């Protein structure tokens, strides 16, 4: 009898594969890294074949663990990073590297879109502003700069859809990632093909839309040979990594919220009424009938990863966290703007860049570490404030991602935002969310509420410290002022 669920996460720096019991317990997990390429300023791209190779490697590692039987896997779910633009031919072969979510090369294409269709008309359909990091401008960039890729493409796929296609042969577009194409009607969950034509997009590039928990195919003979999976294992469409992580953190009902601590930072607030705001990201949740009002930042855990690689290569993340705890709240005046690849919500500035402010000979790398953590916390607060102004209710946050493993980082986020933060199984929230989709899809769980009740347990809670909140109120005001003063210079760089 099939008794386990497999979750696959296509992240920015690595793919993660985890095998779960129905109660959410991790049986075994594996990780496989791959590169990001930065061939020109503003460009950030990956080879989807690297993702597939990493998935095959990680799955084989999972299946090689003692006691693991691939025939006992009931279903497979896949989540992936947002706003890919994977151009594949009729055989499913990628025609070029895909620009990823941090890529901002398509700025001119955004101007082209605004000239062809009023931005307010687009916003009324897709619920989001036009940004170069989104999928549609990247497709138009292909048309303008790589015409052979554009004309030879049969479909444009998202990251999870590419892996699902490799596993099953099925070509799909899940609803949680539709908004990045701008011609997706987010209220009604369908393509607006007339709008696609007005935007200059070949409508036949758009794959069929499916619900995230829908079984779209089964593992093929070819995929089984490459991964070690059992032929015929059901695979669901999957969805956006942030949305799957939100589900895996136990957020599926209106009013619940998630704080994201992976490569990117931000938050996701679950709502059951359409509520778009141009400063934030609105996506369909992987749970039908729900939306996520999201704040997405480029500087999350990736900012601390950068600092470790460049400044602290001799330290583990745990040691960096210990050092940060030796510095008082406010980092003795050191501020960090975490805009390491431009910035997304709520400022939407592709020219924004990372900044350390307040350095002196008295400052140490411990100050830099804590300042990075605090800068990410300030970015989270900025997004939460925008969500409140948009009418959303913000209560206790559920933390997910590797950053939630740091007690000091999680606590200072609580102190900066003034919000309690609960931490479930932080490292596996995203893969668990993908596995939950698979479990709901094949009937292992009777509903999403039943699934989260069965799989998600809070392991610790962080309450905000009022005294430190007062320090951070002053730091946050300076953080906001620093960007506002530097933004004109950033635009000229």
| DSSP one-letter string for 161-200 | HHHHHHHHS---EEGGGGGGGS-EETTTTEE-HHHHHHTT
- In this structure, is residue 214 part of a structural domain? yes
Q: Which pLDDT score, from 0 to 100, does residue 393 have?
A: 84
Q: Each residue of 442-451: b (16+ CB within 10 Å) or e?
A: bebbeebeeb
**Is the same domain home to 22 and 161?**
yes
- In this structure, is residue 449 part of a structural domain? no
Residue with tokens 């987010």: 186
Other residues' Cβ atoms within 10 Å of the Cβ of residue 261:
29
Last residue of a domain, one of 200, 216, 241: 241
**Is the same domain home to 16 and 103?**
yes
Query: C-alpha 170: how far from its chain's center?
Result: 23
154 in Cβ contact with 89 (< 8 Å): yes
Other residues' Cβ atoms within 10 Å of the Cβ of residue 493:
8
**Is the same domain home to 49 and 140?**
yes
Please list the residues that pair with 20 across neighbouring strands.
5, 26
74 in Cβ contact with 2 (< 8 Å): yes
- In this structure, is residue 456 part of a structural domain? no
Query: C-alpha 28: how far from its chain's center?
Result: 23
Of 268, 266, 269, the C-alpha closest to 297 is 266
**Is the same domain home to 135 and 23?**
yes
Q: Which pLDDT score, from 0 to 100, does residue 391 have?
A: 86
SS3 assignment, position 217: strand
Q: What is the mean pLDDT of residues 245-252?
A: 94
**Is the same domain home to 160 and 267?**
no
Question: What pTM did the predictor assign?
Answer: 0.89
127 in Cβ contact with 179 (< 8 Å): yes
The H-assigned helical ranges of 64-134 are 107-116, 119-126
Task: Answer whether residue 1 shows pLDDT above 60.
Answer: no
Q: Which pLDDT score, from 0 to 100, does residue 321 have?
A: 97
pLDDT classification of 427: cutoffs 50, 70, 90: confident
E strands, 21-80, are 26-33, 45-46, 73-80
Q: DSSP 3-state helix, strand, coil percentages of the chain (rounded to 5)?
A: 40, 20, 35
Give the C-alpha distances (Å, rounded to integers) separating 222 from 50, 165, 230, 270.
17, 12, 11, 38
Q: Which distant-in-sequence residues (6+ apart) come within 8 Å of 307 by Cβ?
A: 320, 368, 369, 372
Q: What is the mean pLDDT of residues 316-342?
A: 97
**Is the same domain home to 183 and 283?**
no
Tell me the percentage of the chain whose pLDDT exceeds 70: 99
Last residue of a domain, one of 190, 219, 241: 241
CA distance 316 to 342: 27
Q: Could you tell me the maximum CA-CA distance found in the chain, to the nearest angstrom?
A: 64
Pick 418 or 261 by higher pLDDT: 418
**Is the same domain home to 41 and 144?**
yes
**Is the same domain home to 264 and 387?**
yes
E strands, 289-378, are 291-297, 335-337, 355-357
- In this structure, is residue 453 part of a structural domain? no
Q: What is the mean pLDDT of residues 54-81?
A: 98
For residue 342 the two structure tokens come to: 């431009």
Tell me how many degrees the CA angle 39-44-50 measures, rounded to the nearest 5.
Answer: 95
pLDDT classification of 426: cutoffs 50, 70, 90: low
Q: Which pLDDT score, from 0 to 100, does residue 263 have?
A: 85
Region of 5 (left: φ > 0; alpha: ψ -120 to 50; beta: rest) is: beta
Please list the residues that pair with 234 across neighbouring strands.
218
Q: For the chain, what is the domain count? A: 2
Q: What is the mean pLDDT of residues 189-217?
A: 96
CATH number of residue 402's parent domain? 3.30.420.40
- In this structure, is residue 192 part of a structural domain? yes
SS3 assignment, position 436: helix
Task: Answer whether residue 72 shows pLDDT above 60.
Answer: yes
Q: Which distant-in-sequence residues (6+ apart) come within 8 Å of 419 by Cβ?
A: 384, 394, 395, 396, 397, 464
Structure confidence by residue, pLDDT tens digits, 204-246: 999 999 999 999 999 999 999 999 999 999 999 999 999 999 9
Last residue of a domain, one of 192, 208, 241: 241
Of 388, 302, 401, the C-alpha closest to 343 is 302
**Is the same domain home to 192 and 326?**
no
Question: What's the length of the chain?
Answer: 493
Task: Answer whether residue 347 shows pLDDT above 80.
Answer: yes
52: domain range? 4-241
Tell me the percentage of the chain whose pLDDT exceeds 90: 92
CA distance 148 to 421: 49
Q: Which pLDDT score, from 0 to 100, does residue 227 have?
A: 98
CA distance 412 to 472: 9
CA distance 330 to 416: 10
Task: Answer whether residue 425 shows pLDDT above 80.
Answer: no
Structural element, H or E, at residue 29: strand 26-33
Other residues' Cβ atoms within 10 Å of the Cβ of residue 101:
23
Give the number of C-alpha atoms closer than 13 A to the C-alpha of residue 47, restricted to the C-beta side: 9
Q: Each residue of 13-25: b (16+ CB within 10 Å) or e?
A: bbbbbbbbebebe
**Is the same domain home to 235 and 258?**
no
Query: C-alpha 302: how far from its chain's center?
Result: 12
């Amino acid at each position: 009898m099939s008794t386990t669920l497999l979750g696959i996460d296509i992240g920015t720096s690595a793919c993660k594969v985890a095998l779960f019991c129905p109660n959410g317990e991790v049986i075994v997990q594996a990780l496989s890294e791959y590169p990001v390429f930065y061939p020109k300023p503003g460009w950030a791209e990956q080879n989807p074949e690297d993702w597939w190779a990493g998935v095959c490697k990680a799955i084989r590692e999972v299946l090689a663990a003692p006691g693991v039987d691939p025939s006992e896997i009931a279903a497979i779910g896949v989540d992936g990073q947002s706003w890919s633009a994977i151009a594949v031919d009729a055989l499913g072969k990628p025609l070029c590297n895909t620009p990823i979510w941090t890529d901002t090369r398509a700025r001119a294409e955004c101007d082209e879109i605004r000239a062809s269709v009023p931005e307010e008309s687009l916003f009324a359909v897709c619920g989001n502003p036009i940004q170069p990091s989104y999928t549609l401008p990247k497709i138009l960039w292909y048309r303008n700069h790589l015409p052979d890729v554009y004309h030879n493409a049969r479909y444009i796929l998202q990251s999870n859809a590419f892996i699902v296609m490799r596993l099953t042969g099925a070509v799909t577009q899940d609803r949680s990632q539709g908004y990045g194409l701008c011609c997706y009607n987010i209220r009604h969950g369908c393509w607006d093909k007339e709008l696609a034509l007005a935007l200059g997009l070949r409508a036949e590039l758009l794959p069929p839309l499916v619900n995230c928990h829908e079984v779209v195919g089964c593992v093929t003979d070819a995929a089984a040979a490459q991964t070690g999976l059992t032929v015929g294992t059901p695979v669901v469409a999957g969805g956006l990594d942030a949305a799957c992580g939100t589900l895996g953190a136990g957020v599926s009902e209106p009013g619940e919220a998630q704080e994201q601590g992976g490569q990117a930072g931000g938050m996701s607030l679950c709502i059951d009424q359409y509520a778009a705001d141009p400063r934030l990201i609105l996506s369909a949740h992987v749970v039908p009938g729900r939306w996520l009002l999201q704040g997405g930042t480029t500087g999350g855990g990736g900012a601390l990863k950068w600092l470790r690689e460049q400044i602290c290569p001799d330290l583990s993340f745990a040691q960096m966290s210990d050092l940060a705890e030796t510095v008082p709240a406010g980092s003795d005046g050191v501020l960090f703007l975490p805009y390491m690849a431009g910035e997304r919500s709520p400022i939407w500035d592709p020219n924004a860049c990372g900044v350390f402010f307040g350095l002196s000979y008295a400052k140490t790398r411990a100050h830099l570490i804590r300042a990075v953590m605090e800068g990410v916390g300030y970015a989270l607060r900025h997004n939460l404030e925008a969500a409140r102004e948009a009418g959303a209710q913000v209560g206790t946050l559920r933390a997910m991602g590797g950053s939630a493993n740091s007690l000091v980082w999680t606590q200072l986020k609580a102190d900066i935002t003034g919000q309690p933060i609960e931490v479930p199984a932080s490292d596996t929230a995203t893969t668990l969310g993908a596995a939950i989709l698979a479990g709901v899809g094949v009937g292992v769980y009777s509903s999403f509420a039943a699934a989260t009740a069965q799989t998600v347990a809070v392991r610790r809670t962080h309450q905000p410290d009022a005294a430190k909140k007062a320090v951070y109120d002053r730091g946050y005001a300076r953080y906001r002022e620093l960007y506002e003063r530097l933004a004109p210079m950033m635009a000229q760089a």
